[in-house]
Amino acid sequence: MFFLPIAAAGFVLLRAFAGSVDPSLPNKLQDFITLSLSIFVEALPFLILGALLASAVNTFVPPHAFERILPISGILRRGMLSLLGFLFPVCECGNVPLSRSLMIQGLKPSEAITFLLAAPVLNPVTIWSTWAAFGYDGSIVVSRIAATLLIANIIGYILGLKKREEDFLTPGFQATCDARTKTQTKESDVHSKVRSFASAFTHEAFIMIQMLSFGALVAGAVQTFVARDVLVGIGSNVILSILAMLLLAFVVSICANVDAFFALSFAGTFTAGSIVAFLVFGPMIDIKMLALLKTTFKNELLITITVLSLLMSMLAGLVVSYAF
């Protein structure tokens, strides 16, 4: 698993670079550099793992294997895909290349989106970290799991109503699906499979790292130059606190596996509903994720997913605020 040395090297570079930043630079610039690198390094090992898993699926899993295994019914099918994160416990960054591989294998975009929205939360690592942070309040843990499962499947159902779902895909990714499908049907010997795996991993990782870099820079800039105390000042109001935490989730772009500990720092001043909204919406859509998803889906779909996820996460926060 050579992604571990890559991640370790990234952390070493981060510390070395952060320590070598000229102290004469403005504090804001230093914060921007540190935050952008932190976001990038935090997400990189999961992205590499996701690219490895995606390349393995594309290369070694027979074409349309998932279609034969999964239930035929749309509701049951999407429900099973929602729980696929238990088999691939990586964060949202790693799930992007994996969802691409699922579509190359023959799954519809609406089904891949269902997996993509649910898997970052519905996996043992995220569930454990959420319980470790909020075990004192089981309603937050249960609400996060239930809301994520429900929202992912509702959005998947809505997207599945479109007759030509391939229209959701960018022309470049559609061409990639066609090209790799043809390659899978022709190559059968071990050496060809290994070469195909290496080529697929290089292609996938290169595209994802490019977009991750862009997303990390944007997220770092927003975190640096937008005053967070403005958000904290409105934490006691139910509606405003939910809106503030939704905005914060979109901006900070923190990994789903550790976001519960970040949210815990706001538990004393923000409502439980706003914490749940943060924990549900953040793993689905943030600045970093939108940058990654632009490699695969058209802007119209990204806007649709963002709006639906935002509104339903806000509704989940309101339910928790007034029901518990």
Contacts with 201 (C-beta within 8 Å, 6 or more apart), sequence order: 51, 52, 55
For residues 3 and 67, give the distance between their C-alpha atoms in angstroms, rounded to a whole number: 29
H helix runs in the chain, sequence order: 3-20, 27-60, 65-69, 74-82, 92-104, 109-118, 124-134, 138-160, 171-186, 190-225, 228-232, 238-252, 259-264, 272-284, 287-293, 299-323
Contact 180, 189 (CB under 8 A): no
pLDDT digits (tens, 9 = 90+) for 20-31: 455 545 788 888
* Res 173: pLDDT: 87
Please tell me the predicted confidence (pLDDT) of residue 217. 82
5 vs 121, residue with greater confidence: 121
pLDDT value of residue 188: 57
Distance CA 148, CA 121 (A): 7
Compute the distance between CA of residue 317 and CA of residue 301 in angstroms, rounded to an integer: 24
Place of tokens 């049907």: 185
* pLDDT level of residue 212 (50, 70, 90 thresholds): confident
Give 2 or 73, the one with higher predicted confidence.
73
pLDDT surpassing 60 at residue 9: no
Query: Can you tell me the distance from the alpha carbon of 263 to that of 245, in angstroms, rounded to the nearest whole number?
Result: 9
Looking at residue 49, its amino acid is: L
- Report the amino acid identity of residue 321: S
Per-residue burial over 41-73, b = 16 or more CB atoms within 10 Å of its CB, e = otherwise: bbbbbbbbbbbbbbbebbbeeeeeebeeebeee
Q: How confident is the model at residue 209 (pLDDT cuts 50, 70, 90)?
A: confident
CB-based burial label for 111 (10 Å; 0-12, 13-18, 19+):
buried
Query: In the chain, pLDDT over 70 holds for what percent of residues?
Result: 80
Q: What is the mean pLDDT of the chain?
A: 80
Question: Is the pLDDT assigned to residue 121 strictly greater than 70?
Answer: yes
Tens digits of residue pLDDT in 51-107: 787 778 767 777 666 667 777 777 888 888 898 888 776 677 778 888 888 888 888
Per-residue pLDDT band at 3 (split at 50, 70, 90): very low
Confidence of residue 213 (pLDDT cuts 50, 70, 90): confident
Q: Residue 230: exposed, middle, or buried by beta-carbon count in 10 A (0-12, 13-18, 19+)?
A: exposed
* Pair 28, 224: CB distance under 8 Å: yes
| Choice between 324 and 148, residue whose per-residue pLDDT is larger | 148
Long-range contacts of range 259-262, CB-CB < 8 Å, 24 or more positions apart? Answer: 259/283, 260/126, 260/129, 260/130, 260/132, 260/133, 260/134, 261/129, 261/132, 261/133
Give one DSSP letter per residue of 176-201, joined into a string.
HHHHHHHHHHH--SHHHHHHHHHHHH
Contacts of residue 205, Cβ cutoff 8 Å, sequence gap at least 6: 47, 48, 51, 97
Rounded CA gap, 320 and 248, in Å?
19
What digits encode the pLDDT tens for the residues 253-287? 777 877 887 888 778 778 899 999 999 999 999 88
Contact call for residues 135 and 76 (beta carbons, < 8 A): no
pLDDT, position 118? 94
What pLDDT band is residue 232 in, cutting at 50, 70 and 90?
low
